[in-house]
A and B are shown apart, each in its own frame.
Chain A
Amino acid sequence: MKGEPQTILLAHGSGGQLSHELVERVFVRHFDSSILAELNDAAIVEFGGFNFHVPGSTNLQPETDNLKLAFTTDSYVIQPLFFPGGDIGKLAVCGTVNDLAVAGAEPRYLSAGFIIEEGLLLETLERVVVSMAETARAAGVQIVTGDTKVVNHGAADGLFINTAGVGVVPPGVHLSPSNLRPGDLILINGTIGDHGMAVMMQREGMEFGSSLVSDCAPLNGLIADLLAACPGAVHCMRDPTRGGLVTTLNEWATAAGAGIEIEETAIPVREEVRAACEVLGLDPLYVANEGKVIVAVAPQVAEEALAALQAHPLGREAALIGQVTDEHPGRVVLHTPLGARRVVEMLVGAQLPRIC
């Protein structure tokens, strides 16, 4: 293999270790920005020394002299375009709204870029766009700018969408893995793996999983309720999309230099998801979510935080799943139902069904 020019592998896009390395070695290195280097879901950019008021904001005081904005972008290249519980358009809006919301921001404005393969049915495009509009309305954001490109047949797979978004970070809100402290409790707003398994079942035409529905949803309402219920006590949030719960927790453990312990029996998993994972030999801990948020809170407010999540329609099945510890820094340890403990590592590439 030596001497061959290195090529990009599909695994570089899977959200696992290879993706991380690509980002570090190519993008972070050349773009050379301290804000980018934090590698958060959304960049927090500050505009200092101003004295202005953002129209429509309820949280910003007119006298605020530092405006903090969260800014993020994401591209959506999924197949199939439509799946139970959502479609590429809903996903493109939710994904960007959620990346802003978990940074503690109130999402406001989105852009939408479309790369369309010639031959796509106009009706298909319109269905996707209507879905985006509905989702944006539900999330209380506006899509205010966009771009359209059409490429030759074969140069794209039907439809790719890029969205970017900005949101306003209320004063006093600072969320980051560096806030994690030993003793912090970790919550999640519901069941894991619904999105990944729903898409996989649809894509592979597996009938036994036909009752699975993606959890794809905008989380900004839920997160606003949570932040209001325990101001200052939410230390970090992240939406565990590609790579699933364990990948995100590993990112936290590494970034914070802290250990994380999770309790397998406490993690909510829908029965159908468990069954589909069992059949395929997959682990729901690594399966993608599109409507979930992991929250680290100070232990004193855990009950209030859990109650706030459970009071929201998107958090009814919220649960306390783990804790930050000063032991085994950088590692995530799972307690199995049988009483064993094991390290759960980040995945390298995509999870693959077993052969035998």
Chain B
Amino acid sequence: MLYREAGQFKATYAEDQQIFPIRQDRIAITALLLVAFLVIPFVASDYWLKAILIPFLIFSLAALGLNILTGYAGQLSLGTAGFMAVGAFAAYNFELRVEWMPILVSWALGGLAAALVGIVFGLPSLRIKGFYLAVATLAAQFFIVWALTKFPWFSNYSSSGVITTGKTEIFGYVFDSPREKYLLVLAIVVLMALAAKNMVRSETGRAWMAVRDMDVAAEVVGIRMMHTKLLAFAVSSFYCGVAGALYAYAYIGTVEPEGFNLDLSFRILFMIIIGGVGSILGSFLGAGFIILFPIFLNSYADPIAHALGIDLPPGMTSNLELMIFGALIIFFLAVEPHGLARLWQIGKEKLRLWPFPH
């Protein structure tokens, strides 16, 4: 009843083309952002900020990157964690080797370095598709981690190959407490999500979707394959690279190349499968689900089992997590390939007709 667009008329093109054409959506998103910026930093505990919200935002960004490539441009990639590693190590090296480099610039340069590597590994996409392309990006994953371990220059000759990030200082202000780091990450993620949303609504995004839906047809109508595909790889890797830099600087602090392994790539792929392939919102929903669900199980599976009178053997909760994830992924692939985001959309459509469906 509340969620209805009756009476909202659009008189200009600008009004018709805004991101959220329905007023209730605009109010909801404004409220959400206000809560995220003004309320959460003051009510959330350090544990929530440090261990849940910051990684949630960072993984949302990485999932967003992968979603641009896989969900919008239709190029399957298993190299996400590798591109994140490039971002993290490049940002570290810019910061280390160029004294005056402001931290935001080195994060952006980390993203650009990842974009360049992404373009290189995106070249095979001009010839190969689908699973074969996945294998090529798998090569990127292994090659990047191998190279970062093999050449000690990347980690500044650290004996164990790990890098330790320095202070996060912007215009003389040190972002030190979890609250400050959260706000910084949130601001970056919101801006980049907004950019992504506008990108996929623009000509670029439509070209990506045309390539995804049928590349031969796209080529026939005059979309440049090389340009479009490589741009998708570059933009996607840029997002992943920035996410990697944030992962190192705002979250973990000390990272090793092995931290960016194939497991992490798969985890991000699961985020977009569960969240929704080809949806900006889905990237956030998927990241939230994949981050929160194991923590929820880990904390509450035992008490719940006790309440039900079942005695879980140790380690069972972790196995439970794998089983539930496996089942969910199969469920979503089979029943709802567009993930949680699509369920959300269906819910909204139903709500518009409620309580009097046709």
Chain A complexes with chain B: no
**Chain B residues in contact with chain A, CB under 8 A?**
none
* Chain A residues within CB distance 8 Å of chain B: none
